[in-house]
Amino acid sequence: MDAFLDALQWPAMAVTLLAAWLVAARSAARRRWGFGVFVASNLLWSAWGLHTQAYALIVLQVGLFLLNLRGVRKNRQADDGSDGADRSGTRVPGEATDAGTARAGTRERGLL
């Protein structure tokens, strides 16, 4: 069992890299998967941290998990087209006026 837990850092590292790649994707579906994979990496790193008594690493994973929850919420808001701010009646110069143009503008800013 000790050998398994000692080796757990390698899959944890690979899962973390995969999650980062997914979260950086333009596709909302891939970003959603990325947040889920990040949660798996938090669990793997926490298990390894318990085994090695790396308590700062465990606290870091809890903090990163909370940031992942924030990312999920912001990703949903971007998918819904809202960021929580009330901008009714406010038009930003260069802002799109129809849904198709708005989607293209969002894609240009790297949100999709």
> Average pLDDT in the 83-93 region?
54
Q: What DSSP string describes 71-103? A: HHHHHHHHHHT--S---TT---TT--SSHHHHH
Q: Is the pLDDT of residue 36 over 60?
A: yes
- Residue with the bigger pLDDT between 81 and 15: it is 15
pTM for this prediction: 0.68
- pLDDT confidence of residue 16: 97
With 90 as the cut, is the pLDDT of residue 81 above it? no
SS (H, E, C) 6-44: HHCHHHHHHHHHHHHHHHCCCCHHHHHHHHHHHHHHHHH
Rounded average pLDDT over 59-72: 95
Which amino acid is present at 80? D
How many angstroms separate the CA atoms of 91 and 83, rounded?
15
pLDDT the model gives residue 23: 93
Query: How far apart, in Å, are the Cα atoms of 83 and each of 23, 62, 101?
Result: 18, 25, 18
Per-residue pLDDT at 14: 97
Report, as an integer, the average pLDDT of 9-37.
Answer: 95
